[in-house]
Amino acid sequence: MGGRRSSSVYRDIVCLIIFSLLTAINAEDHNSEVDDEHEFTYLKNSSKGPEHWGSLKKEWKLCSVGKFQSPINIIEEKVLVSSKTGTLRRNHKPAHAVLRNRGHDVMVEWNGDTMGTNLTYNLLQCHWHMPSEHTINGRRYDLEMHMVHRNSQEKLAVIAILYDLGRSDPFLDKVGTISKEQIATLKKIVHDVSSVN
């Protein structure tokens, strides 16, 4: 990624996270999607790393023997480009969201419609993995974002964006980290719109 483009992407991510925190901080703990945040890791050479996922739990056996599941190593010379899929058109608009730390990743979950009514898939949530879940030619990237969409037939479409960390962004340098105390304060002063009927 070019310097200007990566700065813009990082700025957009930070703005999205800050917007999400300010619009709908949810005090509930929602860990139903995560079995146990300590059961696996993305670190190579770890006893709980990707090469061992299939042996960690019997339900995860496909991670060892399956051919079409995450994580995927995309080999560029084997990729076939299909023109049948058409053009990806995105029309995301602001919507209320909740930021969740799920242990193994951070997720922003939208409450309501984030896309125009004439589009097939609606954005449900996006989450980040650090390092990346997927690899290209065996290379794991510093960060990966998944934008998870669903259509009216309950089918999913996921857009994955891989990131290389580069030199610091002047905008991001101005944004400090958000502490637990700051989040607690925000919960007291920001109206949680997710509880409104």
Q: In what order do the strands lie in the sheet with 135-136?
A: 73-74, 135-136, 139-140
Residue 69: DSSP 8-state: S
Q: Which position among 52, 92, 104, 146 bears the catalytic label? A: 104
Q: Cα dist. 159→112, 150, 168, 182 in Å?
A: 19, 12, 25, 31
Active-site residue flag, 52: no
Give strand ranges (E) for 19-142.
73-74, 97-101, 106-110, 122-129, 135-136, 139-140
Which residue type is seen at 13?
A: I
Residues annotated as catalytic are 104
